[in-house]
Amino acid sequence: MTSALSAVATAIVLQVGRCRVETASREITGPSSPRVRRVTPKAMAVLRLLAVAGGQVVTRESLLAGVWPDSAPTDDVLTQAVTQLRKAFAAADGSEPYIETIARSGYRLLVPVAVMSLPATPDAPEPGLRPTEAGFSAEPPRRRRRVLRRWLLIALAVALVLAIAMLSWLLWQQRSQAQAASSNPLPVRPYRLLTSSLETETHPALSPAGDQLAYTAVNSQQERSQIFVRKRLANSPLHALSDTPLQAHDRLPSWSPDGSQIAFARFHADGRCQLMLAAADGQQPPVELLDCSPAELLSFDFSADGRTLVIGSFSAQPGRAGIALFHIAERRWQPLDYPRQPGDLDYNPRISPDGRWLVFARNPQLGRLYMMPAGGGALQPLDPGLMQIRGLSWLSDSRHIVVGRRIGMEARLQQLDTRQPGVWRDLGVEDAQLPAAARQVPMLAFMQRRAQTGLLRYGRDQPPQRIYPSVGRELAPALSADGQQLLLFSDRSGVPAVWQGRGDGRGALRLVVGVQPDVRQQAVWDRQGQHALLIGQDQAQRSVLYELSGAGTAVPLPVPVSSQILQAAYTDSANQLLVLERADDRGRLRLFDRDRTPWQELARLDGVSQLRWDRSRGRVLFTRFDRPGLFAWDTASGQTAVVNTHWPTRWRYRSWEVSADGSIWYSQIAAHCRNALRLLNPQPQQRDSGQDLRCLDRRLAASFGGFSSAEDGALLMAVAEREGGDIGLMPLFDTAEAQLEYFSKRLIL
């Protein structure tokens, strides 16, 4: 019994009741919720003492002395630690209480504890036989050589048997893991986190050999981001790649193929952008390669020989609109010759480790993956569908790629075999994006987001009001014109769904049954608040346009389009609807008369990425894929006009709203304000007095899910109540080929 309790005290992974507790990272997971709950170090220390007690009562004095030995804490700190543990266990497994309070005494653990993993201990060396000096020297030289040769052959045979046994075990483990996953009640993570700070770590990059990691760490207090480099081992020391100026952000690190240099982008507060090159050891100051100041969605990668950078679209300047090569030594541009249309945004180019192929995402607002020869040429689509892409990377075999794909309310890491386009394999990592693989070994780094969004209502001259407290994610709120009705997307039921409630947050939310929503686009109410348009999917994952009644009944509409429906909106005419559909890699806006059977098209406009109906002027406001800014379309005359030349950007193309009085508000992050609204059509007096920028919140940022306004000026917005991100690392031993590749390289090294 004593040895079992001592094992609990030193365990790395414990099973407490039906929950899995990882003591090093202080994470608790369970069958009721896949979300990881992290507790404080003091709370984890309290849990260890309760677990070691084996169900016996541990007094408050013992807990205070054991966890806070060098201080004189109050009972409140212990109460807070126990409360935090209870909340974590209740969220992970709500079936029963885990910790009992013994009045005027202490606490005890009510569930059994089992050890799942212990720290490794070095094996004690076995004593060997050593021949005496006299006896050894007495052997004839030829006999000594025969003895040495015999032992050498025995050692080689043993090594060969061990290698075969190891490979056989790996192949057996691959099959057994799939069988065990279905019977294991606790989630087993195929990765580990290398960072766990309260700030955000993002944009990871693995060195070619996979032994070092570079990533961006955000310092919100200093309003800057720095790139740090460290060994990929846990708790290894790290160093800053360069001394980043205040209010500047270093991002997008990329390793050279030989592992000696790192290229990165430096963004300044005044809008300037520099593409920099630094020594990976951080011993020398970085040098500027080029000015990327017109950049929007800057992306780049090293070529296989390290002499050039392949750079995605980042400017409307001639020769910069498509993917191009930048020769580092000569500081010379070389455009690639491949099929593209004017205005296409070709993003995130990645060269395969063998230097033969290039993959990229075209118009990542929708997302379509293409592959072509590294020097340019014909394009091969890798997936027929459209998706929001959150990073991509080649694996070391130059055959597979890993993509961060937005699926529902989260980004997932999925693997694609380029020889089998359209067939995806999920890697089992939640809320993960920005994958970065090593060039030489099957190792993958990524960013895992910590995000939780909630709804805030901003009234005129009133403090913000939190409505419908969040239990996960609430996105894309849509208010009716009178502000009385609300539609939103939430995963509070375990899956993304449509919920209906009151605009003031009173009463309960009601689930809209029978609709699998496309959470990228918020619902749109008609002027009377009697009906709403909503994009969803049927069982075959085809897009469907639904019309919801005020009572929550959803009816599919017979829209005469054969491609994917991206968005829809009402006009001032009850019989006319605006429908945005997919047209190749862009959007086509069509105005329909739905009183006809089938619906009759009245007008169309190509290249549209987002639309709103401006009731104050009876016109369509829209954004384009090929340029930033806001535009207006008169459906009667077919004429278009420019409303704003700078905003919205092509990336935040959904973060704007037109109010009942015709004011157009754009959500963005401004200086010293994480949630700001910019008026895109201000009057001269508003611009001169600074009324064109309104700070809603200096601390909480708005999500990309859009916001909504009512006729009384009230705003309803989804904000990030909790945000951040950590860097994760996972080996990719999913195939025998990858296993052999990894161990062959380890033996050579």
**What CATH code is carried by the domain that includes residue 389?**
2.120.10.30
Same-domain status, 655 and 729: no
Q: How far apart are CA 496 and CA 536, in angstroms?
A: 11
In sequence order, which residues have a C-beta less than 8 Å from that of residue 382 and are 6 or more positions away? 359, 369, 370, 371, 401, 416, 418, 421, 422
For residue 734, being part of any structural domain is answered with: yes
Same-domain status, 395 and 268: yes
Can you give the pLDDT at residue 181? 41
pTM of full prediction above 0.85: no
- Which residue among 101, 117, 133 closes a domain? 117
379-432 pLDDT, tens digit each? 999 987 767 888 999 999 999 999 998 887 888 999 999 998 888 899 988 889
- Which residue among 96, 117, 138 closes a domain? 117
Can you give the pLDDT at residue 264? 97
Q: Residue 600, Cα to own-chain centre: how many angstroms?
A: 41
- Identify the H or E element spanning 144: helix 141-183
Sign of the four-CA dihedral 331, 334, 335, 336: negative
Residues of the chain with pLDDT under 70: 1-6, 70, 72, 120-147, 168-189, 221-222, 234-235, 294-296, 315-320, 386, 685-690, 704-705, 733-749
For residue 143, being part of any structural domain is answered with: no
Give the single-character DSSP code of 519. Answer: T
What would you report as the CA-atom Rg of the chain, rounded to the nearest whole angstrom? 30
Give the single-character DSSP code of 588. Answer: E
Strands (E) across 46-180 are located at 58-59, 99-102, 106-109, 113-117
For residue 130, being part of any structural domain is answered with: no
Same-domain status, 363 and 379: yes
Same-domain status, 500 and 443: no
3-class DSSP state of 164: helix
Contact in structure between 583 and 601 (CB atoms under 8 Å): no
> How many domains are there within the chain?
4
Range of the domain at 540: 462-722
Same-domain status, 742 and 710: no
Q: Which among 450, 458, 451, 449 has a CA at the least distance from the CA of 477?
A: 458
Q: How far apart are CA 27 and CA 40, in angstroms?
A: 9
Same-domain status, 689 and 733: no
Contact in structure between 107 and 50 (CB atoms under 8 Å): yes
Same-domain status, 526 and 433: no
For residue 494, being part of any structural domain is answered with: yes
For residue 559, being part of any structural domain is answered with: yes
For residue 125, being part of any structural domain is answered with: no
Can you give the pLDDT at residue 298? 87
Same-domain status, 93 and 170: no
For residue 193, being part of any structural domain is answered with: no
Can you give the pLDDT at residue 171? 62
Contact in structure between 676 and 667 (CB atoms under 8 Å): yes
From residue 55, alpha-carbon distances to 28, 58, 98, 536, 617 in Å are 19, 9, 11, 50, 71
Same-domain status, 98 and 179: no
From residue 374, alpha-carbon distances to 346, 353, 371 in Å are 14, 11, 9
Q: Which among 64, 37, 80 has a CA at the least distance from the CA of 187?
A: 37
For residue 594, being part of any structural domain is answered with: yes
Structure-token pair, residue 287: 């040098």
CATH number at residue 37: 1.10.10.10
Same-domain status, 166 and 296: no
Same-domain status, 369 and 478: no
DSSP 324-381: EEEETTTTEEEE------TT--EEEEEE-TTSSEEEEEETTTT-EEEEEETT----EE
Can you give the pLDDT at residue 371? 96
Same-domain status, 396 and 437: yes
Contact in structure between 476 and 457 (CB atoms under 8 Å): no
Contact in structure between 565 and 580 (CB atoms under 8 Å): yes
